[in-house]
């Protein structure tokens, strides 16, 4: 699988890049500034050595063009604009939004309302021909990056309207055996996934932990 990560220079994008590359995937780390992408890849190679054999830097434009599935690793505010900027290159491809829009109010996090309902829906509007999915909202960047961490276990709820987007995103998540990919229904349900992140971070602040999401049988 050729996986591209736009804005892959931040903690979430580079952590995801490292974990996917360590599992033998071809990963392209994108940036608005190719030199920044090169620096990120250099750091990953220095830290993780031969496990980073299949990772390459590039401009966001080149990465959007060459990848078979693209993840938007940009900060939340830049996610839909980045999809719009590269919409022609993303047409017909699975495009994964992992963005959570939230703000801190005192010791809590609260969701930032999005006109389209969710950032993922704004991404679909910005890149109408892309096959948009939303996933990976609740996996902490630091846990993704720590490749030797035995405790990264979690459920990744994937939402998408398009069947190919759902299948391709679940397949990408399943490359990481630590994570279980679950079908969470249509893209509209990204509203719940994105908003829940504010709840999760608030719980983490209250209890001083780094919890992620794991769904358990009720009975």
**125, two tokens:** 């509007």
> How buried is residue 118: exposed, middle or buried, by Cβ count under 10 Å (0-12/13-18/19+)?
buried
Q: Please report how close the Cβ of residue 31 comes to ligand NAP at its closest, in angstroms.
A: 3
Dist CA 103 CA 164 (whole Å): 33
**What token pair was written down for 105?**
């109010």
Minimum separation from the CB atom of position 101 to ligand NAP (A)? 7
Min. distance of Cβ 176 from ligand NAP in angstroms? Answer: 14
Contact 172, 144 (CB under 8 A): no
The CA–CA distances, whole Å, from 140 to 12, 111, 145, 168, 201 equal 7, 17, 9, 22, 10
Closer of 25 and 74 to ligand NAP (Cβ): 74
Do 41 and 55 contact (CB within 8 A), yes or no?
Answer: yes
Whichever of 141 and 147 has its CB closer to ligand NAP, that residue is 141
Residue 85 or 162 having the CB closest to ligand NAP:
85
Whose CB is nearest to ligand NAP? Answer: 10
Rounded to a whole number of angstroms, the minimum distance from the CB of residue 183 to ligand NAP is 19
Q: In angstroms, rounded to a whole number, what is the distance separating the alpha carbons of residues 89 and 83?
A: 9
Q: By the criterion CB under 6 A, which residues form the site for ligand NAP?
A: 7, 9-13, 31-33, 36, 73-76, 78-79, 82, 98-100, 136-137, 139-141
Question: Which residue, 31 or 189, has its beta carbon nearer to ligand NAP?
Answer: 31
Indicate the residue among 162 and 194 with the shorter CB distance to ligand NAP: 194
Q: Check residue 75 and report its DSSP letter.
A: -
- Closest distance of CB 111 from ligand NAP, Å: 11
């Amino acid at each position: 699988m050729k996986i591209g990560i736009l804005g892959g220079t931040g903690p979430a994008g580079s952590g995801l890049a490292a974990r996917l590359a360590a599992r033998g995937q071809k990963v392209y780390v994108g940036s608005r500034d190719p030199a920044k992408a090169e620096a990120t890849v250099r750091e990953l190679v220095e830290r993780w050595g031969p496990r980073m054999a299949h990772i390459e830097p590039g401009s966001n434009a080149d990465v959007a063009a060459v990848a078979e599935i693209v993840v938007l690793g940009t900060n939340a505010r830049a996610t839909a604009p980045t999809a719009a900027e590269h919409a022609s290159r993303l047409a017909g491809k699975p495009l994964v939004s992992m963005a959570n829009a939230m703000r801190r109010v005192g010791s809590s996090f609260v969701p930032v309302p999005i006109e389209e309902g969710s950032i993922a829906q704004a991404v679909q509007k910005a890149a109408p021909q892309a096959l948009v999915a939303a996933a990976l909202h609740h996996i902490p960047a630091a846990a993704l990056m720590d490749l030797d961490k035995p405790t990264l276990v979690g459920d990744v709820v994937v939402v998408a309207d398009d069947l190919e987007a759902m299948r391709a995103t679940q397949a990408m998540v399943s490359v990481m055996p630590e994570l279980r990919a679950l079908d969470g229904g249509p893209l509209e349900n990204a509203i719940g996934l994105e908003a829940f992140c504010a709840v999760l971070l608030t719980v983490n602040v209250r209890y001083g932990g780094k919890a992620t999401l794991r769904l358990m049988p009720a009975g």
